[in-house]
């Protein structure tokens, strides 16, 4: 009996993550081999026995035209993905331009904005990185529903159909950038590009190891493509607050997995 129980436990532990391609953004890529430094953070850990979260931080949704539309989008922990969409007319009410270096200089444009709380946290994170001789550059923050429509329409023209385009670009309302809580971050070492090679740079590694201290999570981690439905993006960081970010980092979760584990109170 003890041997049988051990075999069943081993089988369960080995039933790990599945992988699937996807992209917010430009193209699908097959995830490359996970580095030794990343593996401890990617391993699933036992969740706290009584991990609780106030109900206000969960999505409230309504059905509209076959979609689950979020009715509380100002929630700082809003979960936006291919299942839950933001309203087409939603614009965060407190967008500001964080005082950090941008890859495009001093232009005050749509993508240079974030929600106020997230922007303040970003400033702290960039300042902490600079103290350690790490030069970070913000690339793309807030993106409106209208702008996402333009990106999708361009992709449809290239791909030939919405279905094919949706494999590479998030449909309008399903891009996390519309929340104003996300920033794509890069560095001069990769010419400010948003590429997977960023993970091997000192900037990318610093972010992967320290972003949670300032309330940010690596939103689309390697090995979790089946969960997020997007490819691994070492540049895409999402603000959720320090408490949730610390737990997500500790457990090696995605935001989807976090909500699967926490208890609503």
Give me the active site residues, please: 233
In whole angstroms, what is the distance from residue 46 CA to residue 251 CA?
A: 7
What is the three-state SS of the chain? CHHHHHHHHHHHHCCCCCCCCCCCCCCCCCCCCCCCCCHHHHCCCCCCCCCEECHHHCCCEEEECCEEEECCCCCCCCCCCCCEECCCCCCCCCEECCCCCECCCCCCCHHHCEEHHHHHHHHHHHHHHHHCCCCCEEEECCCCHHHHHHHHHHHHHHHCCHHHHCCCCCCCCCCHHHHCCEEEEECHHHCCCCCHHHHHCHHHHHHHHHHHHHCEEECCCCCCHHHHCCCCCCCEEEECCHHHHHHHHHHCCCHHHHHHHCEEC
Return d(Cα 250, Cα 213) in angstroms, integer. 11
CA dihedral over 185, 98, 76, 45, signed as positive or negative = positive
Closest by CA position to 218, among listed 251, 255, 190? 255
Q: How far is CA 48 from CA 72, 179, 262, in A?
A: 27, 28, 9
């Amino acid at each position: 009996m003890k041997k049988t129980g051990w075999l069943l436990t081993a089988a369960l532990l080995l039933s790990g993550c599945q992988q699937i391609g996807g992209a917010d953004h430009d193209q699908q890529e097959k995830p490359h081999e996970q580095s030794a430094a990343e593996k401890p953070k990617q391993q699933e850990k036992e969740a706290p026995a009584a991990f609780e979260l106030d109900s206000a931080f969960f999505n409230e949704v309504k059905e509209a035209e076959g979609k689950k539309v979020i009715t509380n989008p100002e929630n700082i922990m809003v979960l936006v993905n291919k299942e839950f969409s933001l309203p087409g007319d939603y614009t965060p009410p407190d967008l500001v331009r964080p005082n950090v270096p941008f890859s495009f200089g001093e232009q005050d444009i749509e993508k240079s904005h974030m929600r106020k709380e997230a922007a303040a946290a970003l400033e702290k994170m960039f300042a902490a990185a600079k103290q350690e001789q790490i030069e970070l550059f913000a690339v793309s923050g807030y993106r409106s529903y209208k702008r996402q429509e333009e990106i999708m329409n361009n992709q449809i023209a290239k791909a030939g159909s919405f279905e094919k385009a949706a494999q590479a670009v998030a449909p309008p309302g399903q891009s996390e950038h519309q929340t104003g809580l996300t920033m794509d971050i890069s560095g001069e070492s990769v010419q400010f590009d948003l590429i997977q090679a960023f993970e091997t740079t000192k900037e990318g590694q610093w972010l992967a190891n320290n972003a949670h201290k300032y309330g940010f999570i690596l939103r689309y981690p390697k090995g979790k493509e089946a969960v997020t439905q997007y490819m691994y993006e070492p540049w895409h960081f999402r603000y959720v607050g320090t408490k949730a970010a610390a737990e997500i980092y500790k457990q090696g979760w995605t935001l989807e997995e976090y909500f699967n584990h926490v208890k609503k109170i």
